[in-house]
């Protein structure tokens, strides 16, 4: 490979990283044809790799790519039968640029594209994958692997979602104030779903998931910068950064799982925590707290341990009280029970867990059984704790976490033997 080709490839990669979604959003904002915009931009990148090594990298690579992509869209429109809709699209594609001389000031319509991806007409299960593809340029196979779906199935879902945007004429725009919160929640939920998929591969061994958490944070930064006064957008980014700051501490060098309470704060990324705290402080000034704002505050109360030596459990309990009201989530109630165990003792925490036992959603939720096992053991109910540990172990798919639970169960049983528990083997 020549030096010119390598320089062209690096520039194309930088443009794809920084501007892919911006270019897709601009190209498809009026036509609503996201798939057509993707095809045209793909051809533009191919042309760039052929022409830039020969003619040199242009002063404005994004403008060059946009011009070539628009030409491809014009050619495609002219090849189709010119119905009224196609004629309008062709007129827009061929009209002169309104911007001043090059480099073009390309309007940033990515926020509108994110809201289009989260439109109520788009199935909720495909919103996060759709954002990853049209804003970040992930291919369907990579997305399918990250979300544990067959590539063909994911490809079909993405194609149907893009067709829905085109056929329904879904606008690339930020909704009016009365509809903003509902649609913003959908955007943030999709971004957090992408983050959670990446977070579930803690050691980065899955090549398709390895960068997914970072890409979700990138999306979070984008929406926080475009909606700087939305406390939930700021809260989501703060939550992801607080969580991501502990990524290196989640596994021991041996690969063993390390729960949050046992992690070494020296391994936490304090600079990232400081950034998360700054975002949380901004969120506190911008409006009433919602789910992500409150969850970021919970993580902030855990991060106190890096400087004070102990998490602020009293604050964590109060925050989960608020989260239970806001979300009515059994997971929030479960986490509140764990906090109660720290503030008022394991018996009080177990009592709070008992109150959740009738919720069927928790019966197959591993953290519920793990928390129950731990509190039962701390209360001296070793036989019941062993059964709860057995249930938790059976529900866990991560080998490292499963091994941790097995070791914890053995530890509690060994302690019971030392104390003379008549039900434990000698």
pLDDT digits (tens, 9 = 90+) for 325-353: 999 999 999 999 999 999 999 999 999 99
Closest CA to 34 of 171, 143, 151: 171
Rg of the chain over all Cα atoms, to the nearest angstrom: 26
Same domain, 211 and 329: no
Q: At which residue do the structure tokens 């040199």 appear?
A: 56
Instruction: Give the rounded distance of the alpha carbon of 161 from its chain centre.
Output: 19
Last residue of a domain, one of 44, 69, 94: 94
| Greater model confidence, 137 or 234 | 234
Same domain, 112 and 232: yes
Q: Which residues of 57-74 are buried (b: 16+ CB within 10 A; e: fewer)?
A: bbebbbbbbbebbbbbbe
Report H helices in 118-259.
Answer: 124-136, 140-146, 151-168, 177-199, 212-226, 231-244
CA distances from 164 to 143, 154, 309 (A): 19, 15, 52
Same domain, 156 and 133: yes
What domain range is 314 assigned to? Answer: 288-363
Query: Tens digit of pLDDT for each residue in 270-295?
Result: 999 999 999 999 999 987 889 999 99
Q: Could you count the other beta carbons within 10 Å of the beta carbon of residue 265? A: 17
Q: Is there a domain that residue 268 lies in?
A: no
246 bridge partner residues: none
393 bridge partner residues: none
Same domain, 351 and 381: no
Same domain, 348 and 322: yes
Query: Tens digit of pLDDT for each residue in 139-195?
Result: 888 788 767 688 899 999 999 999 999 889 888 887 777 777 778 888 898 888 888
Same domain, 115 and 241: yes
Instruction: Report the pLDDT averaged over residues 257-262.
Output: 93
d(C-alpha 339, C-alpha 348), whole Å: 10
- Asked if residue 369 has pLDDT above 50, the reply is yes
Same domain, 328 and 384: no
Q: Could you count the other beta carbons within 10 Å of the beta carbon of residue 22? A: 20
Q: Is there a domain that residue 272 lies in?
A: no
CA distances from 276 to 138, 184, 271, 295 (A): 27, 20, 9, 12
Output the pTM of the full model.
Answer: 0.76
3-class SS of residue 419: coil
Q: Is there a domain that residue 259 lies in?
A: no
Last residue of a domain, one of 40, 66, 94: 94
Q: At which residue do the structure tokens 């990283």 appear?
A: 17
d(C-alpha 405, C-alpha 107), whole Å: 52
Same domain, 173 and 221: yes
Query: Tens digit of pLDDT for each residue in 49-78?
Result: 888 888 888 888 888 998 899 888 888 777
Same domain, 380 and 338: no
- Asked if residue 137 has pLDDT above 70, the reply is yes
Q: Is there a domain that residue 255 lies in?
A: no
CB burial class (10 A; 0-12, 13-18, 19+) of residue 271? exposed
202 Cβ partners below 8 Å, 6+ apart?
Answer: 247, 250, 251, 400
- Asked if residue 424 has pLDDT above 60, the reply is no
Contact between 31 and 37 under an 8 Å Cβ cutoff? The reply is yes
Please state whether 363 falls in left (phi above 0), alpha (psi between -120 and 50) or beta: alpha
Q: Is there a domain that residue 36 lies in?
A: yes
Same domain, 397 and 339: no
Same domain, 202 and 328: no
Number of compact structural domains in the chain: 4
DSSP state string for 10-64: HHHHHHHHHHHHHHHHHHHTTT--HHHHHHHHHHHHHHHHHHHHHH---S-HHHH
CA distances from 308 to 301, 311, 360, 378 (A): 11, 8, 38, 25
159 Cβ partners below 8 Å, 6+ apart?
Answer: 35
Sign of the Cα pseudo-torsion (126, 238, 267, 258, in order): negative
d(C-alpha 171, C-alpha 181), whole Å: 17
User: What is the pLDDT, as a whole number, of residue 74?
Assistant: 83
Q: Is there a domain that residue 253 lies in?
A: no
Query: Tens digit of pLDDT for each residue in 188-219?
Result: 988 888 888 778 765 544 544 556 788 889 88
Angle at 287 between CA 284 and CA 292, to 5 degrees: 70
Same domain, 238 and 125: yes
Query: Tens digit of pLDDT for each residue in 379-423?
Result: 999 999 999 999 999 999 889 999 999 999 998 766 654 444 444
Last residue of a domain, one of 45, 68, 94: 94
User: What is the pLDDT, as a whole number, of residue 332?
Assistant: 95
3-class SS of residue 102: coil
**176 φ, ψ (degrees, to nearest 5):** -65, 165
Percent of the chain scoring above 90 in pLDDT:
47
Query: Tens digit of pLDDT for each residue in 101-114?
Result: 344 456 678 888 88
């Amino acid at each position: 490979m020549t030096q010119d080709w390598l320089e062209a490839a690096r520039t194309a990669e930088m443009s794809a990283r920084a501007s892919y979604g911006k270019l897709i959003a601009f190209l498809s904002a009026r036509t609503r044809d996201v798939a057509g915009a993707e095809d045209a931009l793909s051809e533009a990148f191919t042309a760039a790799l052929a022409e830039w090594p020969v003619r040199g990298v242009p002063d404005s690579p994004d403008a060059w790519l946009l011009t070539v992509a628009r030409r491809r869209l014009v050619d495609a429109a002219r090849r189709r039968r010119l119905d009224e809709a196609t004629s309008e699209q062709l007129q827009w594609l061929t009209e002169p640029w309104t911007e001043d001389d090059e480099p073009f000031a390309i309007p940033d319509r990515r926020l509108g594209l994110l809201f289009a991806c989260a439109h109520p007409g788009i199935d909720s299960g495909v919103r996060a994958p759709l954002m990853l593809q049209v804003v970040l340029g992930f291919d369907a196979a990579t997305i399918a692997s990250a979300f544990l779906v067959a590539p063909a199935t994911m490809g079909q879902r993405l194609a149907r979602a893009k067709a829905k945007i085109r056929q329904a004429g879904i606008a690339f725009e930020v909704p009016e104030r009365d509809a903003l919160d509902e649609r913003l929640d959908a955007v943030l939920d999709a971004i957090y779903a992408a983050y959670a998929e990446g977070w579930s591969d803690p050691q980065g061994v899955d090549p398709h998931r390895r960068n997914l958490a970072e890409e979700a944070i990138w999306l979070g930064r984008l929406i926080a910068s475009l909606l700087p006064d939305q406390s939930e957008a700021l809260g989501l980014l703060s939550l992801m950064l607080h969580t991501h700051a502990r990524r290196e501490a989640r596994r021991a060098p041996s690969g063993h799982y390390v729960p949050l309470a046992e992690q070494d704060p020296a391994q936490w990324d304090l600079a990232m925590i400081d950034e998360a705290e700054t975002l949380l402080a901004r969120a506190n000034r911008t409006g009433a707290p919602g789910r992500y704002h409150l969850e970021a505050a919970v993580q902030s109360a855990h991060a106190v341990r890096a400087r004070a030596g102990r998490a602020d459990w009293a604050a964590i309990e109060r925050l989960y009280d608020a989260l239970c009201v806001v979300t009515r989530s059994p997971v929030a109630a479960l986490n509140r029970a764990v906090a109660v165990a720290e503030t008022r003792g394991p018996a009080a925490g177990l009592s709070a867990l008992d109150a959740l036992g009738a919720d069927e959603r928790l019966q197959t939720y591993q953290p519920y059984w793990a928390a129950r096992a731990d509190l039962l053991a701390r209360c001296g109910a070793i036989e019941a704790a062993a059964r709860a540990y057995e249930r938790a172990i059976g529900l866990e798919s991560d080998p490292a976490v499963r091994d941790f639970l097995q070791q914890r169960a053995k530890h509690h049983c060994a302690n019971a033997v030392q104390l003379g528990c008549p039900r434990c083997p000698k």
